[in-house]
Amino acid sequence: MALNPPSAPRQPQQREHHGDMFVDNYEWMRQKDDPALLDYLASENAYTDEQTEPQAALRTALFEEIKGHTQETDLSVPVREGQWWYYSRTVEGQQYAIHCRAPIAGPDDWTPPVVVATGTVAGEQVILDDNLEAAEHEFYSLGSFDVSADGSTMLFATDTVGDERYTVRLRDLATGDSFDDLIPNTSSGALFDPSGQYVFYTTVDDSWRPDTVWRHRVGTPASDDIAIHHEPDESFWVGIGLTRSRRYLVIEAGSSITSEARILDSADPEGEFRIVRPRKEGVEYSVEHAVIAGEDRLLLVHNDHAEDFMVVDVPAADPQAPGRVLVAHTPGNRVESVDAFATHLVLEYRRDALPRVAVALLPAAAEAEAPEAEAPKTTEPATPAPEFSELAFDEVLFSAGASGNPEWTQPTLRLRYSSFVTPSTVIDYDVVSGERRVLKQQPVLEYEASRYTQERQWAVADDGTRVPISLVYRSDLRVDGAAAPTLLYGYGSYEASIDPSFSVARVSLLDRGVVFAVAHVRGGGELGRRWYEDGKELAKTNTFTDFVACARHLTDSGFTSADRLVAEGGSAGGLLMGAVANMAPDAFAGILAVVPFVDPLTSILDPSLPLTVIEWDEWGDPLHNADVYALMKSYSPYENVRDVGYPPILAVTSLNDTRVLYVEPAKWVARLREVGAPVLLRTEMSAGHGGVSGRYEAWHKKAFEYAWVLQQLGRPEADGA
């Protein structure tokens, strides 16, 4: 018997702000343990299962294709840290990674061992098998993983619910025995101090905001732990880390627009942290430690009078002294980070909507001339500022960045490179000779990069702004002659950039003649800080109109057509999906919204909800600002559902998501049902914001979503490669 679309009960609740009254019929769904809610979600899942049953064979085919392109038994490239090479394995049939290590051959051993997928190397030691840890749990996530500097002790933190609250455990790596130490309810990112005698970690408040940094002495109960820093401002979160030199522990506090860092000499882990530079509203900065010509310096990446950021170095002993400019502010070159090593610096930035990497060699201490006795004192090193040289890459679209470089004295820079057509590639770059050595490229079975093409196009927004679109498709696809089925992805928030990257699962779309496109809309960071500023707070609607402009560009140019175009976005990109569904329902053949933020006004109005106050810097504060309230009300997907011809919509969410609560898509779908929209809701009952855990479960989830997309595009069969 065919099921009727579920109809959620209405329980009207009034919300009044700034003289505006809104009646919310579905806010009752926020009660997570309400049996009526769970029954409703179950009925939605049953209805979705029934409606998508015709796609079962396609889902199976997609899952098998993902498996078929994946080398299931594989391993990562070993990374040297201390006296060991660390790497992880995956084994066919197992959901999770196995973390291993092998001893280095000697102090000058910087060439990672060749480890074959089905073999081992001398001295290999399995230090953590996630499959064993996850065996009795429906959900499993590893949130912290660190080994003490002497290699004797491991810490790891796991979440078995999906709410991103982790329990830290310690293990003796010589015996395999677990310590009595057990630290519950931590955030991710716990780490050892260099001595290995202390663990530093953060906890969250009731709104899931990391607000307190703790110090735990190994071998003592968690009840004795010391809170070493608490951040009272609800718009700030905190984190703790170590500089690569391991000289300083760093506590970073930050909102979306302001930063403040504290440092402590790691040789004194029980000491008092000192402020690098006091917080100044609207000024962001990050800290790294460098030794330049024998002098301890702090490298600050900041945006004080530098919209796209700049880099200065200051004395570590007096970080509030005037700094020397290492990288000047250049509009359009958005500086993102600087890394310091014993012999070189690494700069990461973006230009023309692509990430870039540059390297500068540092002078040795002996090369610096001793200053004359009568020379005036200065806060600048005696040597000239290092000069950065950009690394060039051949492809028109690519992603490149430093990755896996924990060692201060390493002579090479580990790079990770990819594009829409080039699988993830690990490269060691010799910073002196410039030689590049490819250590590994992600093995993709039955795949040839030459069969696929990537390109960049530009749409023109309503205000004349040019918006980049990245595309990838089969090279033999005749996009000039006929409208091609296209999946258009968008995000556009938090200055996050959607850079070119390879996806095994996406190959199944491309081989069915589907074009995959990314609309790099304002609100992201692809074209610098101004690109972000022009898509947030009171300028937020630019994000939505940019996406529609990209869709119109692709259809008006004949590249695709409205009946062959599906839109996809997740989280804040799910808000984008809900907004464009209301603004331009005629522009799309379907909309896939993953953990969508579609009831933003209700959430951002309530400071007691997870992360709300932090979000005010991104969206504005509708609780206290009538203009922000009015704007958010004008674009909130839930509050602007109307009786129009919506395309088919699939919303996917997770019951235990703490970032975008399940209630948002649940309410949105219920409201869409009122106007007869063809909408489906799928709720994962044991998952968090990132969805299900385990690679096979993730592949099943992706196959489910892509089968639905292909059905809307009319492309269920592969063309054959």
Catalytic site positions: 571, 657, 689
For residue 274, the SS3 value is strand
Tell me how far CA of residue 411 lies from CA of 50, 85, 408, in angstroms.
58, 16, 9
Residue 87, phi then psi, degrees to nearest 5: -160, 170
Beta carbons within 8 Å of 361's beta carbon, 6+ residues apart: 343, 344, 386, 431, 432
- Render 528-560 in DSSP notation, one character per residue: -HHHHHTTSGGGTHHHHHHHHHHHHHHHHTTS-
- Report yes or no: 396 and 368 within 8 Å, Cβ to Cβ: no
Looking at the DSSP assignment, which residues form a beta bridge with residue 16? 21
Beta carbons within 8 Å of 406's beta carbon, 6+ residues apart: 79, 80, 81, 244
Tell me how far CA of residue 247 lies from CA of 137, 266, 290, in angstroms.
39, 6, 10
- Closest among 671, 571, 672, 583 to 634, alpha carbons compared: 583
Tell me how far CA of residue 487 lies from CA of 548, 597, 628, 711, in angstroms.
13, 20, 32, 12
Question: Residue 106 burial by CB count (10 A; 0-12/13-18/19+): exposed, middle or buried?
Answer: exposed
282: left (phi over 0), alpha (psi -120 to 50) or beta: left
Question: Residue 373 burial by CB count (10 A; 0-12/13-18/19+): exposed, middle or buried?
Answer: exposed
Residue 501, phi then psi, degrees to nearest 5: -150, 160
C-alpha 292/C-alpha 316 separation (Å) is 11
